[in-house]
Amino acid sequence: MNIFEFEDYREFLRAYLSKETTVRKNLLSATGISSSFLTQVLAETKQLSSDQGYEIALYVGLTEKETDYFLLLIELGRAGSHKLQQRITGKIRQLQSDAMTVAAKVNSTIHLTEEQKAIYYSNWIYSAVRNLIPTARHLSTALIAKHLNVPEPRIESAIQLLLDYGLISKKDDGLHWVQGYTHLSSGHPLIFRHHQNWRQRAIQRMDHYNENHLHYTCPMAITKEAAHLLRVQLLESIKNLNQSMTGDPEVSYCLNIDLFEY
């Protein structure tokens, strides 16, 4: 469900609560909102406070951008003057525009400096090594080098950089993955290099194709409306994918998605 398609927070709540019979009960229990008050909100005789809206956003699992949008909808509902409504509506329109980016669907929980990003995103090896570490216990430099088919000295320098950046840690029993995600916005100068690195790696791995791999290419002729809908669906899938990645990592995969007009 794409929250940016809603321009009234109560409509979003109605759609969310209609999914399952237990959703309402669970939401009320998690947020501390009374059933009678929620009924009044949905009947549009009461308004949520920002605090209540934030608790709902946390429970629903909205991203930072989605939370900002949800809270703006609440502000709009509570606004008394036409001038204030116009001001808030302008912010809503901007967030709707921003929502058509991957950054709006992904929560970045690890923040690197620009200097660190320049090195970390310069080569696929750094993120590859980082994501391999939690997939097996006691991974040695030699094992990582063999798995990635990269010389050991390059793996050693990559591990040291990841340690320096706080992306992995070292304990008595070996290397450990530091939980969290990094992310580059679509307008960042390094994003093109990052995309190139992993697409080149995908081409290399096609020579080692197995039944667990998936490669799909589909040039197509479609309507503009269908192209827009496809982009929206892909962005929502990215969000759902990131939210579903909970549990202890067991394997390392890379997902590349390209949708462009040619």
Please tell me the predicted confidence (pLDDT) of residue 106: 56
Q: Give strand ranges (E) for the chain.
A: 168-171, 174-177
- Its pTM stands at 0.58
What is the distance between the alpha carbons of residues 116 and 112, in angstroms, rounded to a whole number? 6
Structure tokens at 168: 């992995």
Please tell me the predicted confidence (pLDDT) of residue 104: 55
Q: Left (φ > 0), alpha (ψ -120 to 50) or beta: where does 166 sit?
A: left
| pLDDT digits (tens), the chain, 262 positions | 788 889 999 999 999 998 877 889 999 999 999 999 999 999 999 999 999 999 999 998 888 888 999 999 999 999 999 999 999 999 999 888 877 766 555 555 788 889 999 999 999 999 999 999 988 877 888 999 999 999 999 999 999 999 999 899 888 778 888 888 888 887 889 999 999 999 999 998 888 888 889 998 999 999 999 999 999 899 888 888 877 777 788 888 999 999 989 8
Please tell me the predicted confidence (pLDDT) of residue 146: 92
Domains and CATH numbers, the chain: 3-99 (no CATH), 114-244 (1.10.10.10)
Please tell me the predicted confidence (pLDDT) of residue 102: 60
Structure tokens at 127: 């993120």
Please tell me the predicted confidence (pLDDT) of residue 183: 81
Buried b (16+ CB within 10 A) or exposed e, 163-190: eebebbeeeeeebebbeeebbbeeeeeb
Please tell me the predicted confidence (pLDDT) of residue 221: 94
For the segment 205-245, what is each residue's pLDDT rounded down to a tens digit? Answer: 888 888 889 998 999 999 999 999 999 899 888 888 877 77
Question: Alpha helices of 104-186 — where are they, by DSSP H?
Answer: 114-120, 124-132, 141-148, 152-164
DSSP 227-258: HHHHHHHHHHHHHHHHHH--S-----------
Indicate if the alpha-carbon torsion angle 219, 223, 227, 229 is positive or negative.
negative
Please tell me the predicted confidence (pLDDT) of residue 210: 85
